[in-house]
Structure 1
């Protein structure tokens, strides 16, 4: 087991972990994302990880950090093991994750443990099925309005896309009655901004209670054709669904920027620019790695942009390559995580994002970014000039 030098630990902190935290793990910060896009900070982070692997070899690398055992993974087979052996002995509910998510979803499956996690996981898997919601009909209805707007202005911006996306999401999750409830998602945004600071920001209990009351009013309708109509105690789970759909919107907007279509287009966007740039697991017991024991409570770090865009392993690292999803993948390409902790809403997110790509693509043509694709793509700044495809909106 390699232990990094103090200088290499400083490099990992300065170019990989701290920039990731600065951009916002729970909700992206526009100003920092703008700077990251200009500096292409993810390219520098990937280079740091490549040098770390070259210097220390494929085994997990322990950082010299006082008070916390931290191991950074650099080998795809270790990533597979870590995810496959979750939540025991590698818990999803790390100390850092709990501190962040308790700001807005203290009862969510992602920070639950033991029998409670199993119960909540079953609720999520049962509810988050694409067949439970008329996804395509909702998307077509809302995309029609967006298409008209884009045709009149000649461009698609993140602001216009985001407004449409959240109307789609609120209808899918809570029903038509929540379509115009911007306050609900604005309150969630404020709570998520607090969550970016994890331990360092006091909890705004009044704001969270107001958000939860508003959410529960929508859930009480159990509107047919929405996820709210599914059985089970959904109140504590829906905040995470809305949180995850925010990342899905970012993935979809970036997919439009590369001319992507369909499910593979969404997957490729999530590979190229992961919205979960750091996957964390925490060992519940001492674990053996390549002949060396790591202590209980070790924090394992998977920096996904490195594994998704490593040119040493992936000939398609920096280009749009939807064909890779038709064959077995590198085990560390995990846009929706993996193992027992894989995102339970994966299929629903793919169905929603793909429906948006395909519906807009029927009427609009966007200029696509070309290879080599940027390592950091600031979705806030995307402005896509558009031309009609010749198919008119009825």
Structure 2
């Protein structure tokens, strides 16, 4: 394999293009359709596709529901082969992708004939992001996708606005570490302070109201068609989004969004809700990665060696740390269900056929992945992951997440600040190397934090309004 300079977050174009299109779908039996509904679809929906449900996540971890689902998926592939599996669902045409080649075909064929704007996504995401690119189609989707990419800069490891972000991450990491105990609530509060700095440029009362309103709207989105619409909350949320984007605070994604070419014609604030939604999943990934590093001291030592004396209040690329984040997403995908919907008749079925990709199976298939239940960040650096069309931590093809490099920058910088000079020991959950669980409840993780080495750099601090106080920051000029 060819060694890369940095981790690749999505399958290579060659891997997607080489995935031979599967033949037409094969019909599942009624019994197998019911088994899929009970062991794959139902647990995925119940844990919360749009907003995770803590109590259900705790139960899912106890029962290891993903292990049961992955086992069933493997059985079905042995029985039916690599062709898409057509489920016996009255009034709908739904196919379950059984092979990596089927996944590659669907991703490479996005947005036509495999559109990301499925009816389920429109019902769920429309409750808080009616103008988001994921549920847009045609010329509207093309224009919104270009706007997202112009601001988020996919393919660029360090965003042009990364300097103030690095200072915000370092400041908040310092506050997280002061308590000596790091549970999900403490971590999540600090994470969202970082997110508001990066996306909005501050942490004022209105910034906090905006992100707080997202929670009930996403909870409603969990129910898709059946959930409450919460029109009043959505109206207030979208009004706040427009207002905060219009502030154009320097150093923020909101400012870049508002000033992007053609932004005024595309409702730039309409793209912000999805970014906030995605950052929630990014926080979950970072918190789980801490547990992996604590359980694998060799990898942790490699990351500390990578950090060396680097000034973490300034942007760093940190390929090994980023690879650890990607490996965390492989082990526990934050998007367990990738959905596509055909436009026009295809070999897979009639127009509006839904394609369902259950990502935990393709990420943890022990028959094809020798590292299935192991923590092996090297696969993201040596080309193995990029060559597999079904390893999709940030989706793949033309529909790949445009914010992937922003997420990898923020999570890797936060992890670097947390682990370089501190030992972080998890309590309550024991991860056994080589036998990692398929379901991991992030809400139940808890860490004891102990200082392990003298500090090399002073950390910046956040003011009461969320702005950065850069006094004493190594090499830092305030650009916020």
Question: Do both share a fold (TM > 0.5)?
Answer: yes
The CA deviation at 1:202 is: 3.0
Tell me, yes or no, if structure 1 residue 373 matches structure 2 residue 436.
Answer: yes
1:257-297 superposed Cα distances (whole Å, 9 cap, x missing partner): 10165100110011000000000000001112xxxx51111
Decide whether the 8 Å contact of 1:258 with 1:370 is kept in 2: no
Across the two proteins, how many residue pairs are aligned to each other?
386
Q: Say if 2:97 and 2:357, in contact at 8 Å, map to a contact too.
A: yes
User: What's the offset of the Cα at 1:305?
Assistant: 0.2
CA contact (8 A) 2:364 2:373 kept: yes
1:48 to 58, 62, 72: 72
- Within 5 A, what are the aligned runs for 1:192-207? 192-207=218-233
Q: How many angstroms apart in 2 are the aligned matches of 1:364 and 1:303?
A: 37
Distance 2:204 2:136 in 1: 28
Q: CA deviation at 1:179?
A: 7.9
Post-superposition CA distance 1:78-122 (Å, at most 9, x none):
111100101000111000110001100000000000101011001
Indicate how the Cα distance of structure 1 residues 332 and 32 shifts in structure 2: closer, same or farther if over 3 A, else same: same
Quote the Cα distance in structure 2 between the aligned partners of 1:116 and 1:107.
9
TM-score by length of 2: 0.78
CA distance in 1 between counterparts of 2:196 and 2:454 reads 28
Q: Kindly state the Cα deviation for residue 391 of structure 1 after the two structures are TM-superposed.
A: 2.9
Q: Which residue of 1 aligns with 2:349?
A: 294
Other-structure match for 1:244? 278
Deviations 1:5-47 (A, max 9, x none): 1111111110101100000000000111011010010000100
Change (3 A) 1:198 1:216: same
The RMSD of aligned alpha carbons is: 1.5
The reply to whether residue 283 of structure 1 matches residue 342 of structure 2 is yes
Give the secondary-structure state (helix, strand or coil) at the position aligned to 2:185: helix
| Deviation per residue, 1:228-251 (Å, 9 max, x gap) | 111224210000000000000001
The answer on 1:312 being equivalent to 2:367 is yes
Per-residue CA distance 1:276-322 (angstroms, 9 max, x = gap): 0000000001112xxxx511111000000000000000010001100
Residues 143, 179 of structure 1: alpha-carbon distance in 2 compared, 3 angstrom cutoff: farther
- 2:451 corresponds in structure 1 to 388
Distance 1:209 1:53 in 2: 45
Contact 1:171/1:179 (<8 A) preserved: no
1:25-40 aligned at under 5 Å gives the runs 25-40=49-64
Structural mapping, 1:1-394, within 5 Å = 1-129=25-153, 130-134=159-163, 135-149=165-179, 151=180, 155-178=181-204, 181-230=207-256, 231=259, 232=263, 233-259=267-293, 262-288=321-347, 293-326=348-381, 327-329=383-385, 330-367=388-425, 369-371=431-433, 372-392=435-455, 394=458
* Pair 179,48 (structure 1): closer, same or farther in 2 beyond 3 Å: farther
The CA distance in 2 between the partners of 1:7 and 1:60, in whole Å, is: 17
- For residues 221 and 129 of structure 2, what CA distance do their matches in structure 1 show? 10
Inter-partner Cα distance in structure 2 for 1:104 and 1:362: 38
**Local SS of the residue matching 1:237:** helix
Q: 2 CA distance for matches of 1:255 and 1:268?
A: 8
| Kept in 2: contact 1:187–1:207 (CA 8 A) | yes
How far apart are the structure 2 equivalents of 1:264 and 1:137?
A: 22
Q: Indicate if the aligned counterparts of 1:167 and 1:179 stay in contact, CA closer than 8 A.
A: no
Contact 2:113 2:344 in 1 (8 A): yes
| Offset, 1:366 | 2.1
Most deviating of 279-288 and 126-135: 126-135
Q: Deviations over 1:303-359 (max 9, x none)?
A: 000000000000100011001012142210001001100000000000000001111
- Cα contact 2:108–2:398 (8 A) shared by 1: yes
Q: Which whole-Å CA distance do the structure 2 matches of 1:177 and 1:72 have between them?
A: 43
C-alpha deviation, 1:385, in angstroms: 2.3
Matches of 2:334 and 2:418 in 1, distance apart? Answer: 22
Q: Which runs of 5+ in 1 are unaligned?
A: none
Any unmatched runs of 5+ in structure 2?
1-24, 154-158, 294-299, 304-320, 459-480
For 2:316, the equivalent position in structure 1 comes to: none
TM, length-normalised to structure 1: 0.95
Superposed displacement of residue 360, structure 1:
0.5
